[in-house]
Amino acid sequence: MGLGRELAFELARRKMNLLLVSLPEEGLDDLCRDLKKMGVKAHYIEADLTSKKELLEMTETVKKNYRVNMLINNAGVGGSRIFENADITYIDSIIKLNIRALVLTTRLLLPVLKENTPSYILNVSSMASFSPIGFKTIYPASKVFVDYFTRGLAEELKGSGVFASVVHPGPMKTNRYVTSRINKHGLFGKMGVLPPEKVAKIAVSKMFKKRFSILAGTANRFNYLLMKIIPSWITLPVLTKAVKKKEITKKGQ
């Protein structure tokens, strides 16, 4: 819960009440206890958002019991695999969580957001959305979807009182495993690394300023410009080679 946790604390510092959603046994009870110490109400729902049944139950609970004026779609999953050797469950989980869960949650809660304007939607994409990457074939593609989906939705919602934004975080040292992976990538891989609390602060601040596309930090803005200027036939082999060298250590992994 790296970025999600920090987003919750950032909103609590702004005295906003919170309803958090995560998998069971992810520490939401303790997190809500800490948030309440900051003078806000904090509730939680435990659900597996890759399960359509649990997702529908979660959104129904929200609609029946809470007045919501903000939706942050932060849940996501990624990884590195040789596509041919990736099992179907791995592929399906990325699509279900990064795409289906985000879209269905937004669709089902949009009427509630419209009842409590001004309201905000913040979808979490990634810097990876700006370039395809071999051995990460599914993850960047799913984050491109998040970007395009949010763009279209924001256009539809003009004048409705609901404002949609998308944030593109770069690498964040959220736990030991992720930190180890980032450190292995050398100087290139470390460019744009920010602590999740700083990303959360930037994302929330710019969301409230009704900025559509949010990039956190000078280095990530520079990386974005580079990826726009340099053609993909150059960036794609470089990024793919970096992933293959540092993360694909054995067949099927």
In this structure, is residue 242 part of a structural domain? yes
On the question of pLDDT at 126 being above 60, the answer is yes
Give which of 74, 75, 21, 72 is closest to 46, Cα–Cα.
21
On the question of pLDDT at 182 being above 60, the answer is no
Quote the CA–CA distance of 68 and 19 in Å, as a whole number: 9
> How large a percentage of the chain has pLDDT more than 70?
89
What are the tens digits of pLDDT across the range 63-76?
A: 999 999 999 999 99
Q: pLDDT band for position 220 (50/70/90)?
A: confident
Mean pLDDT, residues 137-160? 97
On the question of pLDDT at 171 being above 90, the answer is no
| pLDDT confidence of residue 250 | 45
| pLDDT confidence of residue 252 | 44
What are the tens digits of pLDDT across the range 199-211?
A: 999 999 999 999 9
In this structure, is residue 117 part of a structural domain? yes
Mean pLDDT, residues 217-226? 86
Q: pLDDT band for position 175 (50/70/90)?
A: low
CATH of the domain at 87: 3.40.50.720
Q: Structural domain of residue 69, as residue ranges?
A: 2-246
| pLDDT confidence of residue 101 | 98
In this structure, is residue 253 part of a structural domain? no
Mean pLDDT of the chain: 90
What is the C-alpha end-to-end distance of the chain, expressed in Å?
Answer: 24
Mean pLDDT, residues 1-25? 95
What are the tens digits of pLDDT across the range 103-117?
A: 999 999 999 999 999
In this structure, is residue 251 part of a structural domain? no
Count of structural domains, the chain: 1
In this structure, is residue 252 part of a structural domain? no
In this structure, is residue 206 part of a structural domain? yes
- DSSP code string of 17-85: -EEEEE-TTSSHHHHHHHHHTTTS-EEEEE--TTSHHHHHHHHHHHHHH---SEEEE---------GGG
